[in-house]
Amino acid sequence: MATMRCVVVREHGGFDRLLQEERDVPTPRRGEVRVRVRAVGLNHLDTWVRRGVPGHTFPLPLVTSSDASGVVDALGGGVDGVREGDEVVVLPGVSCSACEACQQGFDHLCRRYDILGESCDGTAAEYVCLPAANVAPKPRGLGMEEAASVCLVFQTAWNMLVRRAELRAGETVLVHAGLSGVGSAAVQIASALGAQVIATAGGAEKCRRVAALGAHYVIDYRDADFASEVRKITGKSGVEVVFEHVGEATFGGSMKCLARGGRMVTCGATTGGDVGVSLHQVFFKSLSILGSTMGSKGDLRQVLRMFDQGRFRAVLDRALPMAEVGEAHRLLEAREALGKVVLTV
């Protein structure tokens, strides 16, 4: 039987825990397609899987990564609407497709929801078998490397801003870490919705790039207190929405930035999740704190159509060979990447 290369984590730890292994090339089952992977997009989720998260159990050993692009090279029985030779992107969330949440279009709320590379084997392999529902046509204007960098972050940011925070035209939103994967997606989505965008970034070059994505104001958090700067920009009124994913380092300041009736939406806690909240501040100012994880396949397909229309663009820092996955993780953890990091396969 033919074999393939893949990246596997068998136990948590440093970069040396990213193992290059050989496995049999999988055969698609009924309802599945097999994708010959060309590029794998990395996210901070990959680094958490490698390092481990206190209190959370990952089903090790695990093939890493959630995003990928490639070419369909085999079909299982009963597959319709996908053909061998199709260039596709991988939709990173897998659900049962049968429960009430799935049938209402909220598949990310399915009790059996899995994120590829987190709770089941992921995309960092030469071949991957997936439900046919988990591939979509690659946007025509994106190369394979760019296409591998967009799905998880745009799906997450769209759900946060459109579904959870219900951001509207004319409102002002603060986006933290505007050149991160999810932050750069949020800047573009908020701009497309007609909102005024204030973003943060670390360093002059990152600030310049965030402004080029459509942010109206960019605050260098290394040189200024972002809460004070937001207060100046908004004439002390604050912002209607804060796009939060940093956690402990920014949460308190983010709360100060909210206008009366403001909404904070969060999908992560990169710097830690133990934050203090004053309930007096919440109810006196009628604030909302909203959690969000991933988003629906339907919304992601809409986002991909907007890439086809030229309304969004991929923010790619560099592509590295799959053998250099350790260096890719280092770049993410050191915050040295000016955009997404992709592995070529």
- Asked whether residue 306 is assigned to any structural domain, the reply reads no
- Asked whether residue 140 is assigned to any structural domain, the reply reads yes
> In terms of domains, do 68 and 191 share one?
no
The β-bridge partners of 22 are 5
Would you state the pLDDT for residue 157? Answer: 98
> In terms of domains, do 20 and 112 share one?
yes
Q: 210 near 201, Cβ under 8 Å? A: yes
Q: Say how many Å lie between the first and final Cα of the chain, rounded.
A: 20
Mean pLDDT along residues 166-195: 97
Would you state the pLDDT for residue 269? Answer: 87
Is the pLDDT reported for residue 336 higher than 80? yes
> In terms of domains, do 13 and 130 share one?
yes
Is the pLDDT reported for residue 1 higher than 80? no
- Asked whether residue 78 is assigned to any structural domain, the reply reads yes
- Asked whether residue 301 is assigned to any structural domain, the reply reads no
Is the pLDDT reported for residue 71 higher than 90? yes
> In terms of domains, do 20 and 136 share one?
yes
> In terms of domains, do 215 and 262 share one?
yes
> In terms of domains, do 232 and 146 share one?
no
Identify the burial level of 66 via C-beta atoms within 10 angstroms of its C-beta, where 0-12 means exposed, 13-18 middle and 19 or more buried.
buried
- Asked whether residue 305 is assigned to any structural domain, the reply reads no
Q: How confident is the model at residue 273 (pLDDT cuts 50, 70, 90)?
A: confident
Q: Tokens for 15, please give them.
A: 């970069």
Q: Please give the Cα distance from 45 to 48 (Å, whole number).
A: 5
Reported as a single tens digit per residue, the pLDDT across 121-161 is: 999 999 999 999 999 999 999 999 999 999 999 999 999 99
Is the pLDDT reported for residue 64 higher than 90? yes
DSSP for 154-212? HHHHHIIIIIIS---TT-EEEESSTTSHHHHHHHHHHHHTT-EEEEEESSHHHHHHHHH
> In terms of domains, do 234 and 273 share one?
yes
Per the structure, the complete domain to which residue 59 belongs is given by: 3-150+314-344
> In terms of domains, do 51 and 131 share one?
yes
Q: Provide the CATH number for the domain around residue 50.
A: 3.90.180.10
> In terms of domains, do 106 and 27 share one?
yes
Mean pLDDT along residues 231-247: 96
Mean pLDDT along residues 75-104: 96
> In terms of domains, do 176 and 62 share one?
no
**Based on the structure, what is the number of domains in the chain?**
2
High-pLDDT (> 70) share of the chain, %: 100
Is the pLDDT reported for residue 257 higher than 90? yes
Phi, psi of 36 (to 5 degrees): -80, 105
Q: What is the pTM of this model?
A: 0.95
Would you state the pLDDT for residue 17? Answer: 97
Q: Please give the Cα distance from 287 to 16 (Å, whole number).
A: 44
Q: Provide the CATH number for the domain around residue 181.
A: 3.40.50.720
- Asked whether residue 296 is assigned to any structural domain, the reply reads no
> In terms of domains, do 203 and 95 share one?
no
